[in-house]
Amino acid sequence: MLPEHAETRPYAGGKMLAAKADGIGLITFNQPEKRNAMSMEMWTGFGEILDAFSADDSIKVVVLTGAGDKAFVSGADISQFEKNRNSAEAQKEYDRATGIGRNKFHAFRKPSICRIRGFCMGGGLAIAMAADLRIAAAGSQFGIPAARLSIAYAPHSVKQLIDLVGPAHARMILYTAKRIDAAEAERIGLINRMTEDGALDDVVMDIARTIADNAPLSVAASKITINEMLKDESQRDMEAVRVISETCFNSADYKEGRTAFMEKRQPKFVGR
């Protein structure tokens, strides 16, 4: 997806890959032989990549994708269930260990886009729902098989599902554990857009480049404000909204935006 000059760095023994170029960071779930199922080690690597990308001011937007053409992320690595998720107590430790990477993604301040091809199931769908945008190829499939494994889907992920599709569709997805195709996912709002398989990269990269070219402070303000408005009113951090708003209006980028508009040219934003 990225230009050839993009440097790729492995994490989690190569099962997670990080690359960047031209303001775009790319995270690849790289276990195609298991349809990119998430192991505990991959969650650790995911968190490490997010830390690196958070500290890198050259990265304006992040794209998440799965290796190969069979899956984005097919869910948790079930081969680890017998050892790491065989009881309620073991599940607590699993949640603690994997929750570090998960929480880092929930708190990630830069815009994120999921490029989805193939299966996006269970924990993989939870990752996708935690991203800002979801673009999927027409052949993709979505679902939450928790009811077929007798496990409870995480409350935070259930909340995100409800926020995206509403309680009626959330109940259908969770109670039946059936898969839905990309057309249905788009219809109910689970994904932002469905594309033809051959157009997926072009559509995702066009969106990513558009975001990367926009004013970073303004995009950050939008993300913070949207996230706070999705919370219960009593839990909203309106001080954070006020601060980022003032930062925007006091920034050099705001002056640059006004000047570029008057001069009828493309603005050059620097994030300050």
Strands (E), 58-195: 61-66, 71-73, 112-116, 119-121, 133-137, 141-143, 180-181, 193-195
CATH of domain 7-212: 3.90.226.10
CA distance 271 to 60: 9
Q: Residue for token digits 């006004």?
A: 258
What are the extents of the domains in the chain? 7-212, 215-263
Is residue 86 scored above 60 in pLDDT?
A: no
Is residue 85 scored above 60 in pLDDT?
A: no
- The predicted-structure confidence for 139-178, as pLDDT tens digits, reads as follows 999 999 999 989 889 899 999 999 999 999 999 999 999 9
Is residue 223 scored above 90 in pLDDT?
A: yes
Percent of the chain with pLDDT over 70: 93
CA distance 86 to 90: 6
